């Protein structure tokens, strides 16, 4: 009888119905759109990007986490229709039944300047290094190299597993290089000096994985010391340098308003 009286309260009834509607919207999103990989195009302009690099296209893949092989094959086909010059891997291949086969599928991406990547917190660096080498890829472990003209790509060891060393990773870079850093965990950009870095690509947080309309992710404090700062998209390091955080491709559980994504970065020359 008491419950019936409460249900007749229009404010309470309306609030309950609204909550049910919101829950239903999130469930539908998780079971439909949030299962489809988004292909996100972004541009990055800098005076340090030369005319020779203007229009240079990079595809960034991170947090594969047991993505079915058929989905990876379809993803590779889509990437090849868009055209890229360089493939960068952000780590975390855990959940793949066959790491070698996973990387062999990714190796089907047509990229003139090759494949470079870093480890994630769920990776075994020794195993990943061997698997990448066997597939013609390079694991960057606190090191970097000039992959084309003045484009210097560096990569760090994982913040949780090992010891990132930015100075060592940039040892071969010169002031005129456009420096692109791979750091699996975006928190690395707060704990270390990224002053010399022009752009950092990170993953790790899966866009919060479960979010409220993509606006707030309750689990972010579990994966980042900086709350919602690095949930996804454009962010900044402690010293104000640019960081792009991908939502990644795989997941530990259902994604809710945190759609998986492949990120394409097109470099643009910026004349002063």
The predicted pLDDT at position 13 comes to 65
The predicted pLDDT at position 8 comes to 66
| Contact assessment for residue 149 and residue 50, using Cβ atoms and an 8 Å cutoff | yes
Residues 217, 219: Cα–Cα separation, whole Å: 6
| Contact assessment for residue 179 and residue 204, using Cβ atoms and an 8 Å cutoff | no
Residues 258, 248: Cα–Cα separation, whole Å: 9
| Contact assessment for residue 49 and residue 267, using Cβ atoms and an 8 Å cutoff | yes
The predicted pLDDT at position 7 comes to 57
pLDDT tens digits for 177-201?
999 999 999 999 999 999 999 999 9
Nearby residues of 229 by Cβ (< 8 Å), 6 or more positions away: 235
Average pLDDT of the chain? 93
Q: Which residues of the chain have pLDDT under 70?
A: 1-9, 11-13, 272
The predicted pLDDT at position 272 comes to 62
The predicted pLDDT at position 2 comes to 54
Q: Is the pTM of this model over 0.75?
A: yes
pLDDT tens digits for 13-52?
677 878 888 888 888 888 898 899 999 999 999 999 999 9
DSSP assignment of 155-169 equals E---TTTS---HHHH
């Amino acid at each position: 009888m008491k419950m019936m009286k409460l249900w007749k309260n229009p404010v309470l009834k309306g609030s309950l119905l609204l909550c049910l509607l919101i829950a239903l919207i999130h469930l539908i999103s998780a079971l439909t759109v949030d299962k489809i990989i988004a292909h996100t195009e972004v541009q990055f302009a800098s005076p340090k990007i030369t005319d020779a690099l203007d229009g240079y296209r990079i595809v960034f893949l991170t947090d594969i986490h047991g993505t079915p092989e058929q989905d990876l094959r379809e993803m590779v086909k889509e990437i090849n229709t868009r055209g890229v010059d360089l493939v960068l891997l952000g780590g975390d291949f855990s959940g793949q039944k066959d790491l070698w086969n996973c990387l062999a599928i990714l190796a089907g991406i047509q990229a003139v300047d090759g494949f470079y990547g870093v480890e994630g917190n769920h990776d075994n660096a020794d195993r990943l290094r061997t698997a990448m080498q066997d597939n013609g890829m390079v694991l960057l472990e606190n090191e970097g190299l000039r992959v084309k003209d003045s484009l210097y790509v560096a990569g760090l060891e994982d913040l949780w597993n090992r010891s990132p060393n930015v100075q060592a990773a940039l040892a071969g870079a010169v002031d005129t290089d456009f420096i692109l850093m791979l750091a699996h965990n975006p928190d690395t950009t707060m704990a270390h000096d990224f002053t010399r870095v022009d752009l950092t690509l990170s993953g790790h947080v899966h866009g919060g994985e479960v979010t409220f309309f993509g606006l707030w992710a309750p689990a972010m404090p579990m994966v980042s010391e900086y709350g919602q700062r690095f949930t996804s998209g454009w962010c900044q390091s402690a010293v104000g340098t640019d960081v792009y955080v991908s939502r990644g491709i795989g997941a530990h559980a259902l994604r809710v308003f945190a759609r998986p994504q492949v990120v394409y970065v097109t470099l643009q020359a910026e004349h002063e």
